[in-house]
Amino acid sequence: MEQKNPRVEAMKQFNKAAEIMHLENWIREILSYPERVVEVYIPVRMDNGEIKVFEGYRCQYNNALGPYKGGIRYSPDLDRDEVIALAQWMTFKCALVDLPFGGAKGGVKVDPTKLSLRELENLTRRYTYEIISLIGPSLDIPAPDVLTNEQIMAWIMDTYSVIKGYNEPAVVTGKPVFLGGSKGRKEATGRGVAINIREFLKIFGDSVEGKKVAIQGFGNVGSYTALFLTQMGAKVVGITDSGGGVYNENGLDIQDLIKYAYYEKNIEGKIRRTVAGYPNADSITNEELFKLDVDILVPAAMENQITEENAGYIKARYIVEGANGPTTFEADEILLSNGKIVIPDILANSGGVIVSYLEWIQDKIGYYWDEAEVNASLEKRLIRVINEVYSTSKKYLVDLRTSSYILAIERIANAYRRRGLFP
């Protein structure tokens, strides 16, 4: 199967909405390009004494609404076009949920699971040094993404603070709570996916209770989505990750599966971190997962997972994008023609950036809310935006992805209309 270029896919989504809303050509032209893409080469001293050079990026796509905001991912398959696409999606995501942020994305082409802890720290600190002139609490605020976590963010914050000569927790979000992180941040993206499902089903006269769910990906997003949906009364029957998959028609015990998948070392002393081999379920492939007779499918892994090759096999009525860009443009058209309801990534997985915004505010003012306040603020904002997206879809007679883009683009366009263009 030919791998789709995520940059091309992102532009197809943008252009579809821009055409429908009759966006002015000058604004459309600006939003078609990133403001800058920085490529860095990162020398790292490995444990064996050798120096190895890694390729890294930071794309700052647009800052019309505020400082750039976006994650940092470590992935062996990372490339320039992927980073640009992710930064573009981030731009529209922040605008859609009405945050005073622009969009950015970055990362390093590396498999972090093959590095020691010391090598991972050396890589992270040197990458931070290479992009330090680009980031800052009022300039560009990174966050965790694929195969990065709060420890990576702590190293970035520390490196930035040491070089600047003062503590600056607001330079990144997704940090440990005791270093200025926000309570509820780790669970926020998965919680947001579950809230989207609950609220949209409510809009369509349906309920989460008793619904069968399949989830692709069991990292931070997939695992918490599964946990919250189970608590809402859904039955998660199938889950796959990079190591394999599991299926139980009676529903998986998510808390037990999390303990199994995230157990650091097994009796052979190896890190497991996969659902594969879980004893209380049958094994299943990723291809089989997408064909399951379920109500809800949550792709929460990587881009380009639902394509024109497999979209026609999907039985789920609701496809809820926990990952960024999991559905190609052509696959989206197939799903819509088959009567499927797609809750798009820029809305479905926006819970993480909403709580990142709250963390950023807390760091800037030096006052920290309790978890209940953070979760309540997340839910209130998401419910408002969900209803705005649905109303916009009715106004323009379009699908939820297109209505999400129309809302997001309009917010950025309004900034340009008032700010103008310098010089």
Gap between the Cα atoms of 128 and 158, Å rounded: 10
Gap between the Cα atoms of 185 and 193, Å rounded: 14
- Catalytic-role residue among 4, 105, 109, 340: 105
The burial of 355, by beta-carbon neighbours within 10 Å (0-12 exposed, 13-18 middle, 19 or more buried), is given as: buried
Contact 27, 413 (CB under 8 A): yes
Other beta carbons within 10 angstroms of residue 48's beta carbon come to 7
DSSP-derived letter for residue 312 is G
Residues linked to residue 299 through DSSP beta bridges, in sequence order = 216
Write the CB contacts of 237 (distance below 8 Å, at least 6 apart in sequence): 212, 213, 214, 247, 248, 249, 250, 251, 252, 292, 294
Closest to 293 (Cα-Cα) out of 337, 249, 326: 249
Other beta carbons within 10 angstroms of residue 68's beta carbon come to 29
Query: 82: helix, coil or strand?
Result: helix
Task: Determine whether 105 is an active site residue.
Answer: yes
Catalytic residue ranges: 105
